[in-house]
Chain A
Amino acid sequence: EAGVAQSPRYKIIEKRQSVAFWCNPISGHATLYWYQQILGQGPKLLIQFQNNGVVDDSQLPKDRFSAERLKGVDSTLKIQPAKLEDSAVYLCASSPGTSGTGELFFGEGSRLTVL
């Protein structure tokens, strides 16, 4: 079974530029998550989708971050314009159910450096 795919693995941009990250979850998984992991910290939830609807985006900085999940499958996270403090690893995870009892399956992450 293929795991969670993310791209690009690494991205370096200058502040005020834009960047987009892509995630393809495990086939059939209903729930998709985007997390931001700053060096030395744990993953912080940005947005949670169930199928193609948003369940929780309370910690998404909506003035610069946006995310969508097309047709309830793959997802894109965009940052525009980027700030220095956005330097982090962006993790995508998926889970088969919607009840919170299932484990999260993580991709390898997309490392963003903002100069």
Chain B
Amino acid sequence: AQSVTQLDSQVPVFEEAPVELRCNYSSSVSVYLFWYVQYPNQGLQLLLKYLSGSTLVKGINGFEAEFNKSQTSFHLRKPSVHISDTAEYFCAVSNNAGKSTFGDGTTLTVKP
């Protein structure tokens, strides 16, 4: 079985501040890791993914995430956020059969 825990349900930050959204996963087999973003009134879209290789992956809109196998984490970071980054962020894991499991999401609110 696989599961995802997003440690913060809500993260408020001021514009231009750095942000980290935390994600831990559990799985008995190797998994692939994803972050999706859902802007208000839009569908989920891929932000970035880790399949193998370098543990630091870069995504769209200046986001990056680091895979840490020993801590089973895949935290998402951005050095300077904008108002337009306000959205719901979902961490997900996928196994070799394509089964994708999502966390409960983190609401990022960027304040001016």
The interface of chain A, by Cβ under 8 A from chain B, is: 4, 31, 33, 35, 40-45, 48, 50, 55-56, 91, 93, 95, 97-104, 106-109
Contacts and interface: CB of A to CB of B under 8 A. Distances in A.
A74 to B, nearest CB: 17
Interface residues on B, range: 20 to 34
Contacts, number: 67
Contacts of A48: 98-99
Chain A binding surface, main DSSP class: loop
Interface of B: 4, 6, 31-32, 34, 36, 42-46, 49, 51, 90, 92, 94-105
Contacts of B105: 41-42
20 contacts: A35-B102, A42-B102, A42-B104, A42-B105, A43-B44, A45-B101, A55-B99, A56-B97, A91-B44, A93-B44, A98-B98, A100-B96, A100-B100, A101-B32, A101-B94, A104-B92, A104-B100, A106-B44, A108-B42, A109-B43
